[in-house]
Every structure is written in C-alpha cells, then in structure tokens.
Structure 1
Amino acid sequence: MAYTPVNRILLGAVAPTLIYYVGRKLDHALAGALLASLWGIGVMAWFLLKEKEFDGASGIGAAYAVSELAGLLVTKNPDWFLLSPIVSDWVVGGVFMVSMLTRRPLIQVLAEQMSGKNAFPESIRNGPHYRPLWLRLSLVWGGAYVLKGVFKWISLNTMPVEAYLTLRAGLDWPVIIGLMAFSIWYPRRYWTARA
C-alpha cells in the first residue's frame, strides 16, 4: 500500500476507532480498546518500516499510541481509550510550551528536521528574529493542542460516545494540517515584515 496522508488517516485514526466501537457494541470494550491500540501501533510500525525513517512527527504519533496501550494495560479500563487522546493532547501541548524554555523549542527542531536546517538562510538563522518566531509558533502549537484536548473533554462529557468517537477520529488531522499550513505561511510573513 502506498504511503499517502489519506491512507495514514484511514488506517491510523479511523480504523482503530471502528475497532473500538465494534468491540464496545459486542460488550467487549476492553478487548476492542486493546485491539484498536495494537492496530494503531502496528500501522505506525508498518509506515515507519516502509519509509525507513523516524522523524519528530512520527515520534509524537508513537508516543500517543504507546501511551494509549500502556494506559489500557495498567488501568484495564476501556474508557482509557476515550480519555487517552485528551491526556495526550494536554501533554503534547505542555511539551510544546515547556520547550520554549530551551535553546531550541520543539517546533524549531521539527521544522529544521522536516525542511532541513539549510532551508533557513544563515542570515535569518543568525538574526535577532529567528528564535522569537519559534517561540511564537511553539505557543500557537501548544495552545492549539491544549484547546483541542479541552474541546475533546467537553465533547466526551456532553455527547453520545458514537459522536465523540467520530469527533476523535476526524479532529486531529485537520488541526495538524492547519497548524502546519500556518507554520509555513507565518515565518515568511514574520521575517519579511522584519527584513
């Protein structure tokens, strides 16, 4: 199977949600949750082995999948499958924000890894506006993840489980694509305005 973002979404986000839903409907919610988590890890491993590359984005995805499975094994509570993406969003958001205290914020590391450090001219990298940009983007990414977790939390507590599962399967990719698009557009605007 060819690697495409659509395949990755269908196999990595939609399929596990359907597996959990079927297990829940058959009164085997824990088995469905465990199988869904294992499926997610398997799909991630498949794509990583196929691409023979482990990047920062895949690392975040792996952390999500492993924490979901670990939480299920520790708690033996199928509801962890519902809660784990909320907790993961809050943790990832916190990591983006805490990384602002480091020399190279996480979003800078990911951007340089994905596009290559040479994608940013040396005059920009050594200029006074390079680090402030990454601090702003870190705040945007961290805030978006925290807000996404809050939205999922509210949805889980106010919607039927089926509606929440649909939201869970469909929310992450559009937010990530939006953040990535903003992260491509904003640096050009920011640096051009300061040139």
Structure 2
Amino acid sequence: MEKSSLKNQSMLKSIFNKDFIVSAIIPVIIFSLFDRNGMTMNGIILCGSWSIGVVVINFIKKHQINALAMMSATFSGIGLVGTIISKNPTFYFIAPIAQNMLIAAVFFGSLYFKKPLIQIIVEQSYLKNVPEVIKGNPKYKVNWKILTAAWGILNITEAVLKIILLNVVSISSYYAISTVCGNVLDSSLLIFSILFSKWYLKKK
C-alpha cells in the first residue's frame, strides 16, 4: 500500500513539477491578468514571447531540442506574428489547434518510416545508447509504433477539445483550460509511454 502511494506521489511530481509551472501556470496567470484589464493583445504577446523564450532557454541550457518542442515554438511564433499582423486575438488561439492536427498527421505519417517519431524523440533525448540486443528485439519497433499512434490520437483529441472550448467558453477560460490540460495530458502520456515500454518489452 505504501509503495503504491509513493509511486503515485512520484508520478504526480513528474507531472506537476517546475516545468509545468513555467510552461503552463505562469503563461495562464500572465494572460488572465492582462485580459481582465482589457489588454488581451498585450497578454497574448507576452504569453507568446514567454512560450518561445522557455524553449530557447532550455535549448541554451541543454544544447538540444526535440522535434515536439521545436514545433511548439514554431507555432507559438506563427500565432504571435499572425495575431500582431491581423490584430485578431482569436488567431493566437487557433494556432495550437492547427499545431495539434499537424503533429497528429506527422505522428501517423512517421509510422510508415523505419523509425516512428516517438522512437526518434526518445532515443535523441532519453535513450542515447540503447544496446543493440534491445534494438534487435522485434517488440522494440512495435512498441514505438504503438506509442506513436497513441501520441497521434492524443493530439487529435486535444484539437477537438480545443475547438469545443473555443466555441463554448470565454477566451481567458479557453486559454487556461487548454494550456493546463494540454500539459497534464502530455506529461501523463509521457509517463504512460515509459511504463508501457517497460511492461511491453518484458512481456513474453
């Protein structure tokens, strides 16, 4: 019972950590403060700049950037520039939906390549020296294909939820819910991916 409790606490810490505060909570607070004071555009510009800055700072610190972080920064930049040019705040909130759909398409498309996208990301960032014995296991490739498909499905789900939210709640609520939930879902699936891989590769 205690081991299970400790394991759950460890998972929660993996999700609600420093990165979660920096990438989800702080941007939501910034936008909410500006939006409430009638400065929605200023809030968007600051949030967009913050999101791009987080990716750039992480790159400077770690000297590496994965495909997902790069795509996220790119779409934040596109959304930010598009919003400034069009002077339409909605543009910034539509960009993440397009991002989710494109990422989903990339994930599903990568299933037809030798290495699916999740395998490339994980080997690039987390498993740099995978033993050839493990790579030679037929389940190794199947494992990454399953997880890549799961990430594709998650991104489609996020896009659909964002579309619904954008048409049902206020812009401030949409941004808060989609940002926080998006980070929680991504972190949860990352943990699931690790646990699933350990279980699946050991499965006889």
User: TM-score range with shorter-chain normalisation?
Assistant: 0.7 to 0.9
Q: Which residue of 1 aligns with 2:11?
A: none
Residue type matched to 1:27 in 2? G
Per the normalisation by structure 1, the TM-score is 0.83
Greater displacement, 132-141 / 74-83: 74-83
CA offsets 1:111-139 (integer angstroms, 9 cap, x no match): 111222433x3223123222222111111
Per-residue deviation, 1:93: 1.5
What is the alpha-carbon distance in structure 2 between the residues aligned to residue 118 and residue 143 of structure 1? 29
CA offsets 1:1-53 (integer angstroms, 9 cap, x no match): xxxx7333333333333333333333332333223211221232223223333
Aligned to 1:93, which of 83, 101, 104? 104
Q: Which residue of 2 aligns with 1:72?
A: 83
What is the RMSD of the two structures over their aligned residues, measured on CA atoms?
2.4
Q: Which residue of 2 aligns with 1:160?
A: 170
Aligned to 1:183, which of 157, 170, 193? 193
Consecutive unaligned residues in structure 1, runs of 5 or more: none
Q: 1:41 and 1:187, CA in 2 relative to 1: closer, same or farther beyond 3 A?
A: same
What is the alpha-carbon distance in structure 2 between the residues aligned to residue 142 and residue 149 of structure 1? 11
Aligned positions of 1:143-154 closer than 5 A: 143-154=153-164
What is the alpha-carbon distance in structure 2 between the residues aligned to residue 143 and residue 192 of structure 1? 25
Do residues 129 (structure 1) and 139 (structure 2) align? Answer: yes
Per-residue deviation, 1:140: 0.3
Is the Cα contact below 8 Å between 1:97 and 1:138 reproduced in 2?
yes
Do residues 105 (structure 1) and 122 (structure 2) align? Answer: no
Residue type matched to 1:186 in 2? F
Q: Secondary structure at the match of 1:101?
A: coil
Per-residue deviation, 1:94: 1.6
Per-residue deviation, 1:57: 4.4
Aligned length: 190
Per the normalisation by structure 2, the TM-score is 0.80
Q: 1:124 and 1:50, CA in 2 relative to 1: closer, same or farther beyond 3 A?
A: closer
Q: Secondary structure at the match of 1:79?
A: helix
Is the Cα contact below 8 Å between 1:71 and 1:84 reproduced in 2?
no
Q: Which residue of 1 aligns with 2:10?
A: none
Q: 1:106 and 1:21, CA in 2 relative to 1: closer, same or farther beyond 3 A?
A: same
Q: Which residue of 1 aligns with 2:150?
A: 140
Per-residue deviation, 1:74: 4.6
Q: Secondary structure at the match of 2:17?
A: helix
What is the alpha-carbon distance in structure 1 between the residues aligned to residue 42 and residue 129 of structure 2? 47
Do residues 13 (structure 1) and 24 (structure 2) align? Answer: yes
Is the Cα contact below 8 Å between 1:13 and 1:40 reproduced in 2?
no
Greater displacement, 73-82 / 170-179: 73-82
Aligned to 2:92, which of 81, 96, 117? 81
Q: 1:11 and 1:118, CA in 2 relative to 1: closer, same or farther beyond 3 A?
A: closer
Is the Cα contact below 8 Å between 1:40 and 1:65 reproduced in 2?
yes
Greater displacement, 12-21 / 126-135: 12-21
Q: Which residue of 2 aligns with 1:43?
A: 54
Aligned to 1:31, which of 30, 42, 45? 42
